[in-house]
Amino acid sequence: MDDNTISIWSLPIKTSLDNKYYFNFAGASGPNIFESLEGHLSESTNGIETFVNIPELTAIGIPTKTGQTCVAYKYFSSQTINGNTVRGLPSWFKIDSESATKYGLSELKN
């Protein structure tokens, strides 16, 4: 239930975050899985997209990047790609506007 709109709404991406799913669909453009294991994080038409779970990194003592998008290949790149929180998703989850468009997410907050 959303107190601001007095509505119940479903965010399929929330289920994906909770269950650690990855995305392989027409709009996904993450790196090829085998190339990413070798540290090559460039986008690929045959790639998959996953998300970084900030609480899990913190729990095992890995320093996190504050304010960065949680799209894994962007998060782990050498670039700083800022993200915004999304209404209805955990506060630790941030996504950049380009990725938010691919996933149909709106209601981004700074």
Q: Give 14-56 as a 3 state SS string.
A: HHHHHHCCCECCCCCCCCCHHHHHCCCCCCCCCCCECECCHHH
Structural domain of 17: 12-109
**What's the pLDDT tens digit per position in 29-62?**
677 777 777 777 777 766 777 888 999 999 999 9
95 vs 3, residue with greater confidence:
95
11 vs 55, residue with greater confidence:
55
Let me know if residue 44 belongs to a domain: yes
Let me know if residue 19 belongs to a domain: yes
CB-based contact 55:92 (threshold 8 Å): yes
Going by C-alpha positions, the residue among 109, 100, 110 that lies closest to residue 13 is: 100
**In what helix (H) or strand (E) does residue 102 lie, and over which residues does it extend?**
helix 97-102
| Top mean-pLDDT range of 15-29, 37-51, 70-84 | 70-84
Give the count of domains, the chain. 1
Specify the pLDDT at position 7.
Answer: 46
6 Cβ contact list (under 8 Å, min separation 6): none
Let me know if residue 6 belongs to a domain: no
- How many whole angstroms separate alpha carbon 25 and alpha carbon 96? 18
Specify the pLDDT at position 28.
Answer: 58
Let me know if residue 27 belongs to a domain: yes
Let me know if residue 7 belongs to a domain: no
12 vs 52, residue with greater confidence:
52
Enumerate helices (H) and strands (E) in the chain, giving the number of each: 5, 3
Let me know if residue 82 belongs to a domain: yes
Let me know if residue 4 belongs to a domain: no
